[in-house]
Structure formats: C-alpha cells, structure tokens
Amino acid sequence: MTLEEARKKIKPLDEEKMETARKRWDSIAKPLHSLGKMEDLITQIVGITGEVKVDIGKKALVAMCADNGVVEEGVTQTGQEVTGIVADNFVKETTTACVMCHQCGVAVKPVDVGMVKDTTARTDLKVMYGTRNMTKGPAMTREEAVKGIEAGIAMAEELKAQGYRLLATGEMGIGNTTTSSAVASVLLDQPVETMTGRGAGLSSDGLTRKINAIKKAIALNEPDPSDPIDVLAKVGGLDIAGMAGVYLGGAALQIPVLIDGFISGVAALVAAGICPQAKDYMIASHVSKEPAAHLVLEKLGKEAVLHADMCLGEGTGAIALCPFLDMGATLYNTLSTFDDIHVDQYEELK
C-alpha cells in the first residue's frame, strides 16, 4: 500500500459500535465510568475494529532502527555504534523492551529502516545507510522520507496479514531526540529551547550544542510547517518516518496503534499532520520525561494513562500499557451485568 492509498483508506471510527460498547460498560455491575480510561480505550478499540467483542490477544512491537547524520555535531552522549548494537539485541530479544514484551506476550519486530551498517535486523525495508547531517543540508529527500513512511505501512500490512490485533511503535536511533525536537519545534511552532531535552543522558554542554544544531538545521533548511513530510525530510529521521507509517497503516487497516515516548509521539504528530483522522486510531501510553513530550500529546489531543518518568524509548512505555489494556478487554468481554446479578440500575440506564 502506498502512502496515498493508506491515506484514502482511513475512515472515521464506528460510532454506533462505540455506543454499544459504552452501554455495555454502563450495564456492568460497577459505578458508572469507574474504570475511567480503561473504559474509554476499550471503547475506542471497538470503534477502530468495528467489532463489539474485543480481541487484542495477538500484539506486536515494531521497533524502527535508524541512524541520524546529525550525530556528527556532538549532540548525543553515546556513539552512533550503539544503534546497531541495540538493534542486534532486539533480534536476540534481550533489550529492555524485549524483556517487557516477553512478560506480557507481545511479539518483537525490529526493522532496519536506515542504519549506517547492516546488522542482524531485517534490511528489506531499509531506505538508506543513515540520514545526512541536517545542519549541512536536508536530512533526506522527500522521496526518501516517503519511502520510510511506506516501510512502516508495509509492516502494518504484514502484521495484519499475520493476525496481529494491536501494534506498538518503538524505535532505536542514537540522535533521534535531536531530530524529534527539531520536528516538534517546527510543527508546534515552539522555541527550540522549550522542545529540547537531554535525550539518553546528555551533559549541559552537550545540550547547548544540541539546541544550536537544531536551530542551525531549521534556519538552513526552512522546513514548511504546513507540510509535515517536508519537515520530516529536512530535519527528521527514518525512525520517525517508519513509525509515522505504522500509525497510518494501522489506521488504514483498522488496527489500534500504541504511542510510546517522545520520538514515537513526534512520529504520531507527523502521521496526524498527513491525515488528521489517523489520530483516532492512536492510543497514548505514557508521558516521557523528555520536556516536550506532554506538549506533543496535547497537540495530538491525547491523554496518556501512565506518568512514570520513563524515557527509555524502544517502545517500553507502550508495552507497559499492554497489561492494562488486556485487563480492560477481559473485564469488558466477561464481567457480569446489573441484570445478571439482579441489581436495579437507575431508570435512565435501562
């Protein structure tokens, strides 16, 4: 499916089925809306799939691995080689996110969408060997950025065909908080300083270099804030592009997609800029400790469930939400109703 085909396929949620789901929650023997966001998210999933019974048994984490040319500017605490090392560990299923996935029954799908070296991760969707340094020119061409998005759409298609019912976005890419802050700064029209944090543990000097590099890249490339693909291509990265594609592909195929942290949230922003309706298919999991993460979620109109000061990436926050959603689905599908236990409801609920 091309980006254009995916965009055209995205339709509004099934309101009628969501109303049925709300009535089901209200008929369950408990105070009204007492499960809060658990109820709202399960109702959203009913609207996404158009199925009144909820089945999110088969879940997968798509981990988009890519390198970012801007790392040359000294904007990260660790070297670029860490991207490939962690990607290999994704394949061995030993990263933090992988262990969390094992714990709660989520399959792990690492993808090399643009690392500088080939690793053991699949390379069939690779767009290029790392993006260019955005302080010296555009990180990518528009065509390369679209290819990255289409890699994510292809993953959503592949996983849908394999019977997956819920996807989580994750990433690995040294330097991707720099690109994410640049994209967010342009799309949210906010000062670079407000949108930039320490990523994977940057020093104060490093933070100043990072802010200056982002300012330089934006001034040089002049990304058009009304064109999210232009912003993604000029000051973004392929990890962000790949995840944006997973959101768009998920929406086109009626699969809910979990947003992880800051980078994953910025990818959601790009996807929502391309097709605003795609937001209805996204679920916010947690608020990353990166300073602008809450601003990105606000712009998306999403309230996350978890406020846990996590900022690891890889999809860890999204996976942390899976047990909560599994509980919600089981409660919704199986709990007894007021009628079952012979308790009179208020008249207006009948």
Ligand X SMILES: Cc1cc2nc[nH]c2cc1C
Contacting residues toward ligand NCN, per CB under 6 A:
76, 171-178, 199-200, 202, 260-263, 288, 290, 293, 311-314
Report whether 170 contacts 315 (CB < 8 A). yes
DSSP 279: G
Please identify every residue annotated as catalytic: 314
Q: Which is nearer to ligand NCN, 40 or 171 (CB)?
A: 171
Q: Applying CB under 6 A, does 274 fall inside the site for ligand X?
A: no
Q: Which is nearer to ligand NCN, 27 or 96 (CB)?
A: 96
User: In the bound complex, what is the minimum distance in angstroms from residue 121's beta carbon to ligand NCN?
Assistant: 14
Report whether 60 contacts 167 (CB < 8 A). yes
Which partner, ligand X, ligand NCN, none, binds residue 260 by CB below 5 to 8 Å per kind? Answer: ligand NCN
Report whether 300 contacts 284 (CB < 8 A). yes
Closest by CA to 62, choosing from 295, 280, 290, 267, is: 267
Q: Which is nearer to ligand NCN, 29 or 312 (CB)?
A: 312
Q: How many beta carbons lie within 10 A of that of residue 349, not counting itself?
A: 11
Output the DSSP codes for 117-167: S--SSB-TT---SS---TTTS-SS-HHHHHHHHHHHHHHHHHHHHTT--EE
Q: Applying CB under 6 A, does 82 fall inside the site for ligand X?
A: yes
The identity of residue 94, as a single letter, is: T
Instruction: Show contacts with ligand X in window 222-241 (CB under 6 A).
Output: none
- For ligand X (CB under 6 A), the number of binding residues is 8
Q: Applying CB under 6 A, does 78 fall inside the site for ligand X?
A: yes
User: In the bound complex, what is the minimum distance in angstroms from residue 233's beta carbon to ligand X?
Assistant: 23
Instruction: Give the one residue of 152, 245, 249, 313 binding ligand X; rule: CB under 6 A.
Output: 313
User: In the bound complex, what is the minimum distance in angstroms from residue 174's beta carbon to ligand X?
Assistant: 7
Q: Applying CB under 6 A, does 86 fall inside the site for ligand X?
A: yes
User: In the bound complex, what is the minimum distance in angstroms from residue 95's beta carbon to ligand X?
Assistant: 6
Q: Which is nearer to ligand NCN, 90 or 332 (CB)?
A: 90
Selected range binding ligand X among 47-55, 272-280, 299-307, 309-317, rule: CB under 6 A:
309-317
Residue 337's DSSP bridge partners are 28
DSSP H helical ranges for the chain: 3-9, 15-27, 36-49, 81-92, 96-103, 142-161, 176-188, 192-195, 204-221, 228-235, 238-252, 262-274, 293-300, 316-334, 338-341
Contact positions toward ligand X, by CB under 6 A? 78, 82, 86, 172, 200, 312-314
